[in-house]
Amino acid sequence: MRDHTPDFKMHELTNDNKALIRETVQQLFEKLAADGQLTSDTLLEFWVEVQGVKRSRGTYRGGFLMPDSFIYITDYFQPDAARHLVPAEAYAAEGASALESAWADLMDELFYQIEIFTSPVSTGKGITLELWTGHRQRPEGEWIYAVDSKIELN
């Protein structure tokens, strides 16, 4: 049996890059919640472009571009009546620290996934991260609602 695990060394994101990503995600989520668009199928999707590294993205039969990865936002947050983000029910037992705990868990997952995709390079320079929040029409994959942002890591 052969091991098909890629041979790479993960590189942790810098604190500056983590802060930039967190700030961008928070802005996207605030817009999402304010627009009343946080539903059970709402995703945080991201694509990672690493300069000089060719990696083809997959497509579904319908032909749309598949993101590198996604996270279901409702695993971490839900909207309240005033359209603000509140922690998902799984965090209710944590009381006053529930919101920060939800953010910490979401960011840990996101950072880990981004670090996997950026592992072929030893520096964050030249890496572009595209982030989308919203939901898609299935199975065609077209966005029904989306807000997005593109940032360059340093």
pLDDT band at residue 67 using 50, 70 and 90 as cut-offs: low
Q: Which of 115, 110, 142, 137 is nearest to 127 (CA)?
A: 115
Percent of the chain with pLDDT over 70: 77
Average pLDDT rounded to a whole number, residues 94-116 = 93
pTM of the full structure: 0.84
Residues 41 and 98: their CA atoms lie apart, in Å, by: 22
Q: Specify the range with the lowest mean pLDDT, choosing from 22-36, 74-88, 119-133.
A: 119-133
The residues with which 59 forms a beta bridge, in sequence order, are: 65
Confidence of residue 83 (pLDDT cuts 50, 70, 90): confident
- Section 121-128 average pLDDT: 71
